[in-house]
Each structure stands twice: as structure tokens, then as C-alpha cells.
């Protein structure tokens, strides 16, 4: 059940996980009548509104199809809204949105905008009004009307961004629900409701769900990673300036740990939607497990025995070390929760050759050499009917406060990004075993990759920082000034061009965000390069799809840094690019 919004005159902050769960709820409902009610209830709950209406267009008229917290008087008036009327339910605003397909936000409806004299506004005196078109491929699917009678400016920029993303999800779900109704009708008419058709349709819905939730996750992650860059960055800078015995270190480290958890959640969201940028290196799985041994033991807990069977040598694999650690931690947490009364947790590695007999039963696997990562527990096990769902995002059998449902979907996303394969074998009350097969490469690990804990390097070059988020720009500036660099700072592409035109000194490197007001980072670099042909470039982004879609993504020599940034990582990457003639040279 959905409680009505608070009438206290205050708004709760937008919660990332709550919004993502709301998006998941919308994406799963395929019965149109239920979906309309669900959309309205979720929006009212998260928007800061007191009441609202979901309006759909039928036969050139607008009709209320779902409502939230309206009274009986309103219900009688709102049975139907003629297209050209402006006398009912602020239909002037609704029709304006229908014609223009633009979002209308009124911070104080009775005192501003085109609709001050609208009869509904004059009679009811709503403080804040928000009207959002629900579009699908530039076609109007419906209109969402919300109002708050207590607060002015109730629909903040943050809430508007979230609601706009939810509107995209609502539009996709409406299309899916209509498609589902059509398919169901056809199945009944033709009596073709066989299992294969249902399976294919279920796959279609799951694919659309993943893309929609991934789009929402990515949009939130972009802003979230800027915030986390500031928190994590200043935690590191502050911690480096405190003595070992300073009592404030514990406070800083607690904040840092909390921010790291938030960053991990964001990475999980991007990973299961396959939009996490990975940095592939030649690594050895045994070394990664060995380095994580103590952490895994602490993570599992004292009442569970841990066996690390990694004594035999195994081949090297191309992988992102951080992502492999993520796999191990997620599987360890999963195993721990499956053994509430204790048990054994085992991690094993082994070189294997997957032959024709194996690939005959697993068509997606290519014959060849692999390193197998086997992770087992002696816990409660997973029933056969649940094994088909365990890799779905947000699916969880845990209590609400004990799991997000992202752990195994994150593992699955990482495995697929590494061209690897994962299989699960489990029996109820007899434990679970995950086997992951990573392709082997005939390459050695370089000494440079094995040792990266050197002191933070300094420099004296001139760096141009282009970043529109003020706190992030200040953090980068403070970090690099302390390391000896000369700095120029700009908050937009136009401002950067102005600095370059008036700058007499050589600029050795440009550190720019991918998304900037006015022009994007790559566009800025194309404009700058003729003037500064020798300047190197590093791109930054809080949302990796911006990087992946860049035309330079696959070019050799192009360098990207993913937010949230840590000052030490930024400093090392900066020195690495400046010292290597082949890096950071492409525009």
C-alpha cells in the first residue's frame, strides 16, 4: 500500500535505491489497468506532490486514467477533459503541454507564468504545479499532472530529473503493456499460447526492462559520481594531512567508507546494465585471490570456515582486477547470507580445457583453454525454480533491508564483459557452487603492472582543467597545485576557449569532462587542437556510456578517467600520460 504524501510542508530527500526500485516495479507490471495505478502511486510517493493525475489521449480528447489522492468533487469534474477546454483541472496547462510537448514547472502557480488566470488555478490556488509529457519516439503517450498546495518550488531540479527518467520508463512500460494486451488477444484468438512463444516474449520484456533500468541508473550515476568525487577526494586529501594518532582520522575514514559503498552501488548499477567502463590488463587470478584473502575472511565472518585452494599455478587472463574483486566479494556476501548458522566457504582455481563434449551442451562456449574460478558454500541452496531468476536485477530472496538484489546481476554483467561464462549448481539445503570460466592468454604480467604503489608523483607542467561542477573543479585544482603544476581553470567550453586565446604560456595537457554546458568535451578538443597541437588530453566522465559512445573510444592513445576520482589516481594517471609520448595524443 502507498501512503499519501506528508502534509507537514517539508519534503524528504530523493533516495537513489527507492527510485530505482520504483522504476523496477513499473517495468515489471504488464497489465495496463494495474500499471496506470502503479505509475500514479509511485510518482505521488516520490515527487513531493500532494495529488496528481495521469492523463491519456483517446479520440482527440484527454481522459483521466489514474489519479492520486483526489476528492469526490474532483472525480466528478474530471471524468473527461475536452481538448479545447481550459476550465477544468487546469486544462489550459494540460493542453499547452499536449501542443508543445514541453515540461511545465510553476514554482508558484498563483503568481507566475501563462496560467495565472486559469479558472482552476484561480479557484484552487495550487502553490506548485508540474506537468510532464510522456513521450515515446516523439509521440505523446500521455501527460502527468502534479501539484502541491502547501509548498512553493516543491518540484526541485533533482526531483524533476528523477521524474523525467521515470516518465521515460513509464512510456516504455505503457508500450509494453499495450503490446502485451495485443499479444494476449492474438494468442487467445489463434490458440497459440505455447511455451516457446511465451519464453520469447518474456525475453523481449526482460531486455527492454534491462535497458530502461540501465538508462535510469546511468542518468542518476552521472550526477551521483560528481558528488562522490568531491566526498572521496576531500576525504583522501584530509586524511593525508592528519597524523596517525589524530582522533579525526576515524571520522574521516568512516565518511570515506560510506562514500565508497555509494560508489560501489553506482558501479553495480552500471555493471549489470553493461555500461561500466572496464580497464583490461593481463592478470593472474591466484594473485588477486591471495591479495584478497584477509578481506574475504573478514567479510565471511568468524563462524564460517574459509578455504582458498589456489596453490597450483594457473594461466594468465585478460581482466579488470577491480571487477574480479567485485565478483569475489559479491559471491562471498551471497555465500555468507546463505549460511546463517555457519558452514564452509571455498574458493578454488584451476586450469581447464573445455572440449567438444562440454561445448556441445553449452553452445555459447568456445573450445579452448580457460581458468576456472570455483566458489562454493555449504548453505541453504537455491531451489530449481529460483535458479532461473538469480541473475535478474533487483531479484532477491533476502529481507528488504538485507539486500538490493544487485549482487548476482552484477557478477553476471562482469562475467559477460570479460567474454567469460558462469554456471550455477545448487540443491536445497546442500549448498551452492558457482563456476566461472575465463579465457586464457599467452602473455606475461609486466613488472610495471605488478608494482603501482609508488609515491604520488609531482610535476611542473601547465594543465587546463575544464569541469562545470564547481566542487569537483576545486578538488582537482587543490590536488594538482599541491603537486607543483601550473593551472588554468574553466567551467565551460566557451570559457576554456577564451582562456586559450588570452594565454601566453604553453599548455601541456587538457583535463576535460565529457559533458559540458554549451559543448561536449570532444567537441571542445576538436576546436582547441589546431591552436594547441602538442597538448595532451585526458577525458573525465561520471557516466561511462558518454565515453563508450564517443567516436574516439577505440582510438589508440585516447585516455579516459571514470568518476568518482581519487586524487592519488588522478595524479598518477596525469604523470603517466605526460611522460608517455604515445598517450593522450588523440583528440
- Determine the angle formed by the axes of helices 321-338 and 248-272, rounding to 10 degrees: 100
Helices (H), 339-430: 356-361, 384-387, 407-417
C-alpha cell at 128: 506548485
> Exposed, middle or buried: residue 549 (CB in 10 Å: 0-12, 13-18, 19+)?
exposed
Q: Please tell me the predicted confidence (pLDDT) of residue 84.
A: 47
Which segments in the chain show pLDDT lower than 70?
A: 1-33, 35, 45-47, 58-91, 112-113, 116, 118-120, 136-137, 169-171, 174-175, 177-222, 264-265, 267-279, 387, 389, 392-407, 446-454, 543-557, 586-587
Q: Please tell me the predicted confidence (pLDDT) of residue 97.
A: 84
Long-range contacts of 467-474 (CB under 8 A, 24+ apart): 467/491, 467/511, 467/512, 467/513, 467/540, 468/492, 468/513, 468/515, 468/516, 468/517, 469/226, 469/229, 469/230, 469/513, 471/226, 471/230, 472/226, 472/229, 472/230, 472/233, 472/563, 472/565
d(CA 118, CA 163): 25
d(CA 237, CA 241): 7
Q: Which residues contact 221 (CB under 8 A, 6 or more apart)?
A: 266, 269, 270, 542, 543
Q: Please tell me the predicted confidence (pLDDT) of residue 83.
A: 43
Q: Please tell me the predicted confidence (pLDDT) of residue 507.
A: 92
Q: Please tell me the predicted confidence (pLDDT) of residue 307.
A: 92
C-alpha 370 chain-centroid distance: 31
C-alpha cell at 29: 507490471
Q: Please tell me the predicted confidence (pLDDT) of residue 3.
A: 46
CB atoms within 10 A of CB 53: 25
DSSP string covering 231-285: HHHHHHHHHHHS-TT-THHHHHHHHHHHHHHHHHHHHHHHHHTT------EEE-H
DSSP string covering 117-171: T-HHHHHH--SEEEEEEEEETTEEEEEEEEEESS-TT-S-HHHHHHHHHHHHHHH
Q: Please tell me the predicted confidence (pLDDT) of residue 350.
A: 94
Q: Which residues contact 511 (CB under 8 A, 6 or more apart)?
A: 463, 464, 465, 466, 467, 476, 538, 540, 574
**Residues in the chain, how many?**
587
Amino acid at each position: 500500500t502507498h501512503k499519501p504524501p506528508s502534509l507537514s510542508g517539508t519534503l524528504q530527500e530523493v533516495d537513489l535505491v527507492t527510485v530505482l526500485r520504483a522504476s523496477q516495479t513499473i517495468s515489471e507490471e504488464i497489465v495496463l489497468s494495474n500499471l496506470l495505478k502503479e505509475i500514479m502511486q509511485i510518482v505521488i510517493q516520490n515527487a513531493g506532490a500532494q495529488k496528481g493525475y495521469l492523463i491519456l489521449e483517446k479520440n482527440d480528447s484527454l481522459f483521466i486514467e489514474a489519479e492520486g489522492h483526489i476528492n469526490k468533487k474532483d472525480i466528478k469534474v474530471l471524468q473527461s477533459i475536452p481538448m479545447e477546454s481550459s476550465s477544468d483541472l487546469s486544462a489550459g496547462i494540460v493542453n499547452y503541454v499536449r501542443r508543445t510537448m514541453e515540461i511545465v514547472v510553476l514554482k508558484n502557480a498563483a503568481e507566475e507564468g501563462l496560467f495565472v488566470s486559469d479558472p482552476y488555478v484561480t479557484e484552487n490556488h495550487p502553490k506548485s504545479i508540474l506537468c510532464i509529457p510522456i513521450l515515446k519516439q516523439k509521440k505523446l503517450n500521455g501527460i502527468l499532472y502534479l501539484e502541491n498546495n502547501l509548498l512553493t518550488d516543491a518540484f526541485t531540479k533533482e526531483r524533476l530529473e528523477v521524474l523525467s527518467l521515470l516518465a521515460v520508463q513509464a512510456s516504455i512500460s505503457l508500450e509494453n503493456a499495450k503490446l502485451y494486451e495485443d499479444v494476449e488477444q492474438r494468442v487467445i484468438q489463434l490458440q497459440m499460447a505455447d511455451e516457446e512463444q511465451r519464453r520469447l516474449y518474456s525475453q523481449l520484456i526482460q531486455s527492454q526492462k534491462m535497458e530502461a533500468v540501465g538508462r535510469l541508473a546511468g542518468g542518476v550515476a552521472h550526477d551521483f559520481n560528481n558528488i562522490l568525487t568531491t566526498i572521496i577526494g576531500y576525504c583522501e586529501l584530509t586524511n593525508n594531512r592528519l597524523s596517525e594518532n589524530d582522533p579525526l582520522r576515524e571520522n574521516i575514514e568512516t565518511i570515506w567508507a560510506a562514500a565508497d559503498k555509494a560508489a560501489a552501488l553506482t558501479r553495480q548499477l552500471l555493471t549489470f546494465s553493461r555500461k561500466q567502463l572496464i580497464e583490461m590488463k593481463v592478470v593472474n587470478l591466484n594473485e588477486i585471490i591471495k591479495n584478497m584473502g584477509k578481506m574475504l575472511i573478514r567479510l565471511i565472518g568468524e563462524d564460517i570456515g574459509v578455504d582458498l585452494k589456489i596453490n597450483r599455478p594457473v594461466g594468465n587472463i585478460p581482466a579488470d582486477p577491480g571487477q574480479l574483486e567485485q565478483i569475489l566479494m559479491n559471491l562471498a556476501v551471497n555465500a555468507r547470507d546463505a549460511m546463517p548458522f555457519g558452514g564452509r566457504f571455498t574458493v578454488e582455481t584451476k586450469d581447464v580445457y573445455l572440449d567438444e563434449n562440454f561445448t556441445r551442451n553449452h553452445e555459447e562456449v568456445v573450445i579452448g583453454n580457460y581458468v576456472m574460478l570455483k566458489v562454493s558454500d555449504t548453505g541453504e541452496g537455491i531451489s530449481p525454480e529460483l535458479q532461473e531468476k538469480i541473475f535478474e536485477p533487483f531479484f532477491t530472496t533476502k529481507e528488504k533491508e538485507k539486500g538490493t538484489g544487485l549482487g548476482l546481476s552484477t557478477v553476471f554483467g562482469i562475467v559477460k564483459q570479460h567474454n567469460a561464462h558462469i554456471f550455477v549448481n545448487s540443491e536445497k539445503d546442500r549448498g551452492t557452487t558457482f563456476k566461472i570460466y575465463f579465457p586464457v592468454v599467452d602473455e606475461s604480467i609486466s613488472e610495471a603492472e605488478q608494482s603501482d604503489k609508488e609515491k604520488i608523483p609531482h610535476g611542473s607542467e601547465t594543465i587546463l582543467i575544464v569541469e562545470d561542477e564547481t566542487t569537483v573543479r576545486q578538488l582537482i585544482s587543490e590536488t594538482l597545485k599541491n603537486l607543483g603544476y601550473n593551472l588554468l581553470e574553466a567551467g565551460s567550453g566557451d570559457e576554456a576557449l577564451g582562456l586559450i586565446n588570452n594565454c601566453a604560456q604553453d599548455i601541456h595537457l587538457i583535463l576535460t569532462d565529457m559533458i559540458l554546458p554549451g559543448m561536449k568535451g570532444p567537441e571542445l578538443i576538436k576546436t582547441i587542437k589546431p591552436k594547441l597541437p602538442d597538448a595532451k588530453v585526458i577525458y573525465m566522465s561520471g557516466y561511462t556510456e558518454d565515453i563508450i559512445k564517443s567516436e574516439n573510444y577505440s582510438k589508440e592513445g585516447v585516455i579516459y578517467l571514470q568518476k568518482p576520482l581519487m586524487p592519488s589516481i588522478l595524479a598518477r594517471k596525469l604523470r603517466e600520460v605526460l611522460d608517455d609520448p604515445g598517450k593522450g595524443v588523440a583528440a
